[in-house]
Amino acid sequence: MSMIKKILIANRGEIACRVIRTARELGIETVAVYSDADLNAMHVELADQAVHIGAAPVGESYLLGDRIIDAAKRTGADAIHPGYGFLSENPDFVDAVAKAGLIFIGPSADAIRAMGLKDKAKALMEKAGVPVVPGYHGDNQDANFLAKQANEIGYPVLIKARAGGGGKGMRLVEKPADFANALASAQREAQSSFGDPACLIEKFIQNPRHIEMQVMGDAHGNVIHLFERDCSMQRRHQKVIEEAPAPDMPEDVRQAMGAAAVAAAKAVNYQGAGTVEFIVDGSGPLRPDGFWFMEMNTRLQVEHPVTEEITGFDLVAMQIAVAEGQALPVTQDQITATGHAFEVRLYAEDPSNGFLPATGTLDILVFPTADNGVRVDTGVRQGDVISPHYDPMIAKLIVTGPNRNAALLKMSKALEELVVHGCVTNRAFLSALVIDADFAAGRVDTGLIDRKGADLTARPDPTAQTLALAALAAVRPADAEDPFANFRLWGAARQVVTFEGDPNISIFVETIASETNVTTPLGEVTFSAVLRNGPELWVEENGVKSRAIVHKTGHGVLVQTAGHDRFFKFFDPSASASSGKAGALTAPMPGNVIAVVAKAGDSVSEGDRLLVMEAMKMEHAITAAQDGVIAEMLVSEGDQVEQGALLVRMQEDE
């Protein structure tokens, strides 16, 4: 097979940029595809060529395989890399690529079909001798029949879309009374995300850990694994932090799991990069008979960088080599792991509001220095827009250290240096998670985040010092060329800064002799030294020097200290205050209304479900904030609404 000279990447964002980076190193040209929303996206800028393929919705652009193949032909590409998501696990697309005379950088359509439906895949794995979780994996989708199966399996059970992935179409059910609603919700989400509403029912493993094996196969029948990744830190079945190797992984368990993963891949004559995911009994020490096959992802995973960091292999380069027909460059006994790696996913989402996805413009985006074991994979830059059309991931931070503790400390430091403003993110949540006592000790399971959610998502109230730092940032020049940038705060004897609040926050800054006094509503703060150098603000208080990261915009000041950040908006007396209607319920995020449960005239109680919205292919129930009677339902099923749009109006008390 001839060498690949030009690759079209049938994807966008971070993974498209990731593939382009390796292709450049190999001397291979690249072609990007883009929608209306991605006209000025980073992956378009990095590629050698770019082709417009349609409107912003994925169904009108990135899911149109014929347009992508046509773009490859028009640009002279001889191969297509699917990335992950979109068409990466669509066997019909793989067939169409081959029919067009192009190389698909991934597994065969037959392998994808064999592993694409969870029920069929589990039957195949049982035949191959790979352990599987007890459950019902058949074709009968009658709701009463599935409820009966759940009773026989024994609660708690897990409903899973058979064509699913990424936590979509998955529901944990702890008692029979909740089964019917959970099944209906999972089926709707599965239909929306995968075009297939069918679900399977599995026994839910108590204290589960999610450990997966990276595999790679070639066209010559060789299959290897590149050790494991622990992806137990999840919320709503979506991964938050991944690490390699898994904490407290005994060597005999690693060998047994690796052998099972290789057997799974060989059962479908697997070629390319893939991941075999296992559910693991985490109630005690890991054991060779305590893990079960969940599914195989027939593509590159989001978390593949942690494997690259500990093994030294470029998995994208290996994918390309295998697609060219080359044999794997190493045998199993030649693969070694060194050190420990973590990856965190920075998302535009609101942890304090159920992790609802967020949108906005990245007014400030400063990544930690990409050296000394810190790697940043991203597809956005400062000034880019996080839109409601695509996954809200902003970047992945990957760190590597000689051991787990060292890598964890490095990750904590990297998150402190990361600055993002313009949309709500999970940065502070990630900072809290990496220093959590259980996580730091390696006591991980898939329920840890849910158990500690309140602590991990808590936002501390601002202190007098935080207010003082905000005021100093507001009056202090940030330009390093300013001749006074690194000296004590001079200027006006007394300055006042007012931020929006309820009531507004007025802060007075005054320099007297050698001291800077800041008077805030929470008390007075005295600094014996104040130094400003770009985004760094150093202050000395009671003989202790400390650093904050500050950014001043035209609207206010961002202050970031000890993992937490807060934006203080300048008070504008000329702006008219706006307030929402009393008794009105608004959309917490942009999305589609997929179900309306209540209607005008209904009496509802606090917590009752009123309607269901879908955002980023995930369902979100909108519930009553208080007891009352619905005066008007302002939306209908199928409506698309923006964040803050009025959904429901309640009757006002007489």
Given a cut of 80, whether residue 473 has pLDDT beyond it is yes
pLDDT, residue 653, reads 64
**477 compared with 650, residue with greater pLDDT:** 650
pLDDT at 304: 98
pTM summary value = 0.83
Which class is 339-459 in CATH? alpha beta
Question: How confident is the model at residue 529, as a pLDDT?
Answer: 92
Cα 272 versus chain centre, distance: 24
User: What pLDDT score does 489 carry?
Assistant: 47
pLDDT score at 574: 64
Average pLDDT over residues 464-493: 67
**In the CATH scheme, what is the homologous superfamily, with its name and number, of domain 206-337?**
ATP-grasp fold, B domain (3.30.470.20)
Query: What's the full length of the chain, in residues?
Result: 654
**Between 118-128 and 251-266, two packed helices, what is the crossing angle to 10 degrees?**
110
Query: Is 299 marked active-site?
Result: yes
Pairing of strands 505-512, 515-520: antiparallel
The answer to whether residue 620 scores a pLDDT higher than 90 is no
Is residue 464 pLDDT above 80, yes or no? yes
Q: Are 12 and 82 in contact (CB under 8 A)?
A: no
Whole-number pLDDT of residue 376: 97
Which helix (H) or strand (E) covers residue 538, if one does?
strand 536-541
Query: Which amino acid, 270?
Result: Y
pLDDT at 84: 96
The pLDDT of residue 373 is: 84
Q: What is the largest CA-CA distance in the chain?
A: 82
What are the phi and psi torsion angles at 411 (to 5°)?
-65, -40
Domain at 464-569: CATH architecture: 2-Layer Sandwich (3.30)
**How far apart are the C-alpha atoms of 318 and 327, rounded to whole Å?**
10
Q: What pLDDT shows up at residue 483?
A: 37
CATH 3.30.1490.20 is right for the domain spanning 134-203: yes
536-556 pLDDT, tens digit each: 999 999 999 999 999 998 889
299, 375, 476, 566: the catalytic one is: 299
> Which has the closest alpha carbon to 135: 121, 114, 116, 119?
119
The answer to which of 48-52, 104-108, 283-287 has the lowest mean pLDDT is 283-287
CATH-assigned architecture of domain 6-105 = 3-Layer(aba) Sandwich (3.40)
Q: Which residues, 6+ apart, have CB-to-CB distance to 512 below 8 Å?
A: none
Topology annotation, domain 584-650: OB fold (Dihydrolipoamide Acetyltransferase, E2P) (2.40.50)
Give the mean pLDDT of 187-216.
92
Residue 654: per-residue pLDDT: 54
**Residue 484: pLDDT over 60:** no
Task: Indicate if the pLDDT at residue 166 is higher than 80.
Answer: no
Q: Is 611 a residue whose pLDDT tops 70?
A: yes
Q: Do domains 206-337 and 339-459 have the same CATH topology?
A: yes
- Each domain of the chain, given as residue ranges in start order, spans 6-105, 134-203, 206-337, 339-459, 464-569, 584-650
Would the pLDDT of 490 be above 50? no
Instruction: Answer yes or no: are the C-beta atoms of 631 and 624 closer than 8 Å.
Output: no
Strand-pair partners of 545: 540
pLDDT class for 616, splitting at 50, 70, 90? low
Mean of per-residue pLDDT scores for the chain: 91
pLDDT for 418 beyond 90: yes
Residue 580 scores a pLDDT above 50: no
Q: What per-residue confidence (pLDDT) applies to 592?
A: 84
Averaged over 563-571, what is the pLDDT? 89
pLDDT of 586 > 90? The answer is no
pLDDT tens sequence across 257-300: 999 999 999 999 999 999 999 999 998 999 999 999 999 999 99
* Cα separation values, 232 from 181, 240, 244, 287, Å: 26, 8, 12, 17
423 compared with 377, residue with greater pLDDT: 377
